[in-house]
Amino acid sequence: MFIADDILLFPARSILWIFRELYNAAQEEIVNESGTLTNQLSELYMALETGRITEDEFDRQEKKILDRLDAIEANGAPDDEP
């Protein structure tokens, strides 16, 4: 009877596995994007300190980066498990 159960449940288990893998890939992408944005913010601070950009340009770019980081945190925190 266990073999029959395994055969009957295989499609459902396969679909669940696919969804779990998609979720993990999405979470990894969020973490990678967050890291990239953090690096961009660090480079932006360095550009301001070295005088390569003005404070107005810095403020404009910093706002974009921080808004995106806030959106990532609000919509898809990697610590949230299904």
pLDDT at 43: 95
Closest to 43 in 3D by CA, of 64, 62, 63: 62
Domain boundaries, the chain: 19-75
Whether the predicted model's global pTM rises above the 0.75 cut: no
Tokens describing residue 36 = 């990239």
| Cα–Cα dist 35/57, whole Å | 22
CA angle (76 as vertex; 73, 77 as ends), nearest 5: 60
Q: How far is CA 71 from CA 12, 37, 55, 59, in A?
A: 33, 12, 24, 18
How confident is the model over 10-22, as pLDDT tens digits?
888 899 999 999 9
Confidence of residue 81 (pLDDT cuts 50, 70, 90): very low
* Residue whose tokens read 């770019």: 61
